Amino acid sequence: MQRLLASHPRVHPRGFLVGRTEPRDLELAVQVIARDGRMHRYPPLELNLPKRERRVLRLVASGLENKRIAKALGLSDRVVSRYLDNTFNKVRAMYPELNLENRTRLALWFWGVWEVLQVAESVFEEGRE
């Protein structure tokens, strides 16, 4: 671990990895952080989503379908769909370069994985050259 961190002087171990981490995954995490300097966990506050839209987004990111979200929040399916559409529009307007076109990509973005996957792909591409 010390050798890995020493090879990336910009990386400071101020965080944690959950569960058992394979050495390859740890190396990839350090490379990702070294490139971007940080990893993001939750959507930024500047999105300024109302409380209900934030709840719907969190439940979508957790893998729930609209009907289950509606039941959990005591809303109709149509209201959940409207909140989700509003959220998509706000995220797309703020981050057009991410091309978040479906629930899966929205969930990946929400949990901070989307950027990690993009950097990981570029790291693997460099390794092939």
| pLDDT tens-digit series, residues 79-95 | 999 999 999 999 888 88
Residue 86 structure tokens? 């509003």
* Residues contacting 5, CB < 8 A, separation 6+: 11, 13, 30
Q: Which domains does the chain have, with CATH numbers?
A: 2-40+112-128 (no CATH), 45-110 (1.10.10.10)
Q: For position 111, what pLDDT does the model report?
A: 76
| pLDDT tens-digit series, residues 28-82 | 666 655 655 454 544 555 678 898 998 999 899 888 999 999 999 999 999 999 9
Cα–chain-centroid distance for residue 55?
Answer: 16
- Alpha carbon distance 37, 101 (integer Å): 27
Q: For position 9, what pLDDT does the model report?
A: 47
